[in-house]
Amino acid sequence: MLVLGVDPGASATGYGIVARSDDGVLRAVDYGSVRTTPRDPFPVRLQQIFSRLTELIRCYQPECAAIESLIFAKNVQSAFKLGQARGVALLAAAQGGLSIAEYTPLQVKSAVTGYGAAGKGQVQQMVGSLLGLKEPLRSTDAADALAVAICHHHSARLLHLSRGRGR
C-alpha cells in the first residue's frame, strides 16, 4: 500500500509518501515540504500547495492520503490559515480519487513513538529509524508528514488484522 502523508501548514506543508512491502517493511518513497513565501498573497500560497500535492498524487498514484488534523493554533488567524491549508490538501486528495484518513497529532505521535507527548526531535528520530533512512531528516515538516503516513499504515494494518480475526 502506498500512502501520501500530509502535515499541512501555511508557510510549509510537509509531505511524505510511504510504501509497505509484502513482508511488512515500510520505506520512504519521497518526502519534502512545500515552502511558500509570506510576501505572496495567501491564495497564491494555497495554489502552490495544491499544485505540488496534485503533482505528487499524479506521479506516485498513492491509494490513500493521511492528513494531520487541526487541534489548536496559537491564534485565530493562524488557525484560519492552517485550516485553509488543510482544506487544500483535502481537496487535492479528493480530486485525486484517494481515500482520506485524518489523524490528530496525539494519534500520530503515539503510533510512531509510543508516546503522545513526544517532541519533534523524538518523532524525527523514530521516523528515520522506522523507515531505515540513512540520513537524518532535516525538515520537521517532512518528518511529521512521514509520521502521519506511518500512522495510517499502522492503523490500516490493525484494522485489517482485527477484521481477519472476526471471520
- Distance from C-alpha of 86 to C-alpha of 70, rounded to nearest angstrom: 8
- Is 68 annotated to bind ligand? yes
Catalytic residue among 22, 102, 135, 141: 141
- Is 23 annotated to bind ligand? no
Return the closest-CA partner of residue 4 out of 80, 44, 59.
59
CATH of the domain at 94: 3.30.420.10
- Is 141 annotated to bind ligand? yes
Task: Quote the cell numbers at residue 100.
Answer: 482520506
> Does pLDDT of 5 surpass 70?
yes
Catalytic residue among 22, 68, 102, 135: 68
**7 noted as active-site residue:** yes
Full domain range(s) for residue 127: 2-165
Give the number of domains in the chain.
1
> Does pLDDT of 72 surpass 90?
no
Q: Summarize pLDDT for 86-125 with one digit per residue, the tens.
A: 999 999 999 999 999 999 999 999 999 999 889 989 999 9
- Distance from C-alpha of 61 to C-alpha of 124, rounded to nearest angstrom: 25
**144 noted as active-site residue:** no
Please tell me the number of Cα atoms within 13 Å of 26 on its side-chain side: 25
Strand order in the sheet with 26-35: 26-35, 12-20, 2-7, 64-68, 99-103
Give the pLDDT score at 53. Answer: 98
